[in-house]
């Protein structure tokens, strides 16, 4: 879905001082070196759900870094695998095969944006993404629906150097870095919290780790450590538990972020309310049904079952051979249902 409207006050602050001016000077030239390129994303992309591996993240970052602030439309793009390998500082056999597989998945795996009624709507971010055999490169074209998230961004965006994110080795670390850069400001440390259920949902680990201690061990701690060791920002994540007890139920993950050229804060850190790291609240009101739900409930039960079975089969084909949590599968089925019934709903309107 397109980015939600922002208030005037949101547009008055930028993630960095003189952000737009700085972007104009560093992004307008297409022949700048890879190490000086920027990745610029709307914040809604940073907080979208996406089931990508590290190579998919690297391809995406390199392609986004080729977009100029002056671009008004997407064009067919090309990146060399050699440049990717050099930036990521990786040496391994079979890298071209890995990149070919990643490119193929990028046209199937969607970004899923959470709506105000707690559904997810998504679509593949690329209309074309393929490995060109014999040339050692990837050719790609962004989906036109991605315009609001990647083109002509002037507010509510996150930016970072391409070389910073390319050094990270896991998809989890990439997400932690992106969120940290969204929170970060040059003037000093900032703090923000994220509900634990939303954190699990955002990182697609609702069903992967039953114990929260495993989430800390395998997701949070290694990601924070890698961000701190390899990038230009510093991050500390602390679990806030019920009643403040060491054994209380995990409620929130508190993010404290400060620039790498400043010392670690040792006192109280101001909390920022400019960014929403929690899902939209429905407290005190009944969640409204969207047009799809209304239409679907009006269909005969037999037709509902047939459409659901078709969506489930298509999703099974998409995720074949991969470990996907039950809730993540359910979200994909709902997205696929909306997709395959789009023409039917339009004709009955």
Q: Which CATH number characterizes residue 55's domain? A: 1.10.10.10
> What pLDDT is recorded for position 282?
33
At residue 31, the pLDDT reads 40
pLDDT the model gives residue 260: 83
Which 3 state secondary structure label does DSSP give 59?
helix
CA nearest 114: which of 284, 252, 274, 278? Answer: 278
Enumerate the H helices of the chain as residue ranges: 8-12, 19-27, 43-46, 54-64, 81-88, 95-106, 147-150, 162-166, 171-183, 196-202, 212-215, 221-230, 291-297, 301-318, 326-340, 342-348
**232 and 161 Cβ atoms separated by less than 8 Å:** yes
Query: Is 106 within 8 Å of 129 (Cβ atoms)?
Result: yes
In a domain, 176, yes or no: no
pLDDT, position 19: 32
For the chain, which ranges sit under pLDDT 50? 1, 4-32, 279-288
Instruction: Name residues whose C-beta falls within 8 Å of residue 257's C-beta, 6 or more positions apart in sequence.
Output: 180, 183, 184, 189, 190, 191, 192, 233, 234, 235, 236
Domain encompassing residue 330: 291-307+323-348
How confident is the model at residue 159, as a pLDDT?
A: 94
Residue 285 lies in a domain: no
Please write the tens of the pLDDT for every residue from 247-259: 788 999 999 999 8
Q: Per the domain annotation, does 174 fall within a domain?
A: no
Per residue in 293-315, pLDDT (tens digit) is: 778 888 888 888 899 899 888 88
Beta-bridge mates of residue 234: 258
Residues 303 and 246 in one domain: no
204 and 70 housed in the same domain: no
Domain ends where: 137, 167, 197? 167
Same domain assignment for residues 20 and 159: yes
Q: How many domains does the chain have?
A: 3
Burial of 26 (0-12, 13-18, 19+ CB in 10 A): middle
- Is residue 330 situated within a structural domain? yes
Same domain, yes or no: 16 and 163: yes
pLDDT of residue 17: 28
Position 99 in a domain? yes
Q: Report if residue 318 sits inside a domain.
A: no
Same domain? For 159 and 196 the reply is no
Asked if residue 184 lies in contact with residue 233, where contact means CB atoms within 8 angstroms, the answer is yes
Same domain, 237 and 198: yes
Task: Say what the pLDDT of residue 237 is.
Answer: 95
User: In the prediction, which pLDDT does 349 show?
Assistant: 63
211 in the same domain as 94? no
Q: Does 278 fall in a domain?
A: no
Residue 208 and residue 131 in one domain: no
Which structure tokens are listed for 136? Answer: 């050692």
Distance (Å, rounded) from C-alpha 267 to C-alpha 264?
Answer: 9
Instruction: Supply the DSSP string of 231-259, one letter for each residue.
Output: SSEEEEEEEEEGGG-TTSPEEEEEEEEEE
- 156 lies in the same domain as 71: yes
Residues 255 and 120 in one domain: no
Measured CA to CA, the distance from residue 225 to residue 236 in angstroms comes to: 9
In a domain, 177, yes or no: no
């Amino acid at each position: 879905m397109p980015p939600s409207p922002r208030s005037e006050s949101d547009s008055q602050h930028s993630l960095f001082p003189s952000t737009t001016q700085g972007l104009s000077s560093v992004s307008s030239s297409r022949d700048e070196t890879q190490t000086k390129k920027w990745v610029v994303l709307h914040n809604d992309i940073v907080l979208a759900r996406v089931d990508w591996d590290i190579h998919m993240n690297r391809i995406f970052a390199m392609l986004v870094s080729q977009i100029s602030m002056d671009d008004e439309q997407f064009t067919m793009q090309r990146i060399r695998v050699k440049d990717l390998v050099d930036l990521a500082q990786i040496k391994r056999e079979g890298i071209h095969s890995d990149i070919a597989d990643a490119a193929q998945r990028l046209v199937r795996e969607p970004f899923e944006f959470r709506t105000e009624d707690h559904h997810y709507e998504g679509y593949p971010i690329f209309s074309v993404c393929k490995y060109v055999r014999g040339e050692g490169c990837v050719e790609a074209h962004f989906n036109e629906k991605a315009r609001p998230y990647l083109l002509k961004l002037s507010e509510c965006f996150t930016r970072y150097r391409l070389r910073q994110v390319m050094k990270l080795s896991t998809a989890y670390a990439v997400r932690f870095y992106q969120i940290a850069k969204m929170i970060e400001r040059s003037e000093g440390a900032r703090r923000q919290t994220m509900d634990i259920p939303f954190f699990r949902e955002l990182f697609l680990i609702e069903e992967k780790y039953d114990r929260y201690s495993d989430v800390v061990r395998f997701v949070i701690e290694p990601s924070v450590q890698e961000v701190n060791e390899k990038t230009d920002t510093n991050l500390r994540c602390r679990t806030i538990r019920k009643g403040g007890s060491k054994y209380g139920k995990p409620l929130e993950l508190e993010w404290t972020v400060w620039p790498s050229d400043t010392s670690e804060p040792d006192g109280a850190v101001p909390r920022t309310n400019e960014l929403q790291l929690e899902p939209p609240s429905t407290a005190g009101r009944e969640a409204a049904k969207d047009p799809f739900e209304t239409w679907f409930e009006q269909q005969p039960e037999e037709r509902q079952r047939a459409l659901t079975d078709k969506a489930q089969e298509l999703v099974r084909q998409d995720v074949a051979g991969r470990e996907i949590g039950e809730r993540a599968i359910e979200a994909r089925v709902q997205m696929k249902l909306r997709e395959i019934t789009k023409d039917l709903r339009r004709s009955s309107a």
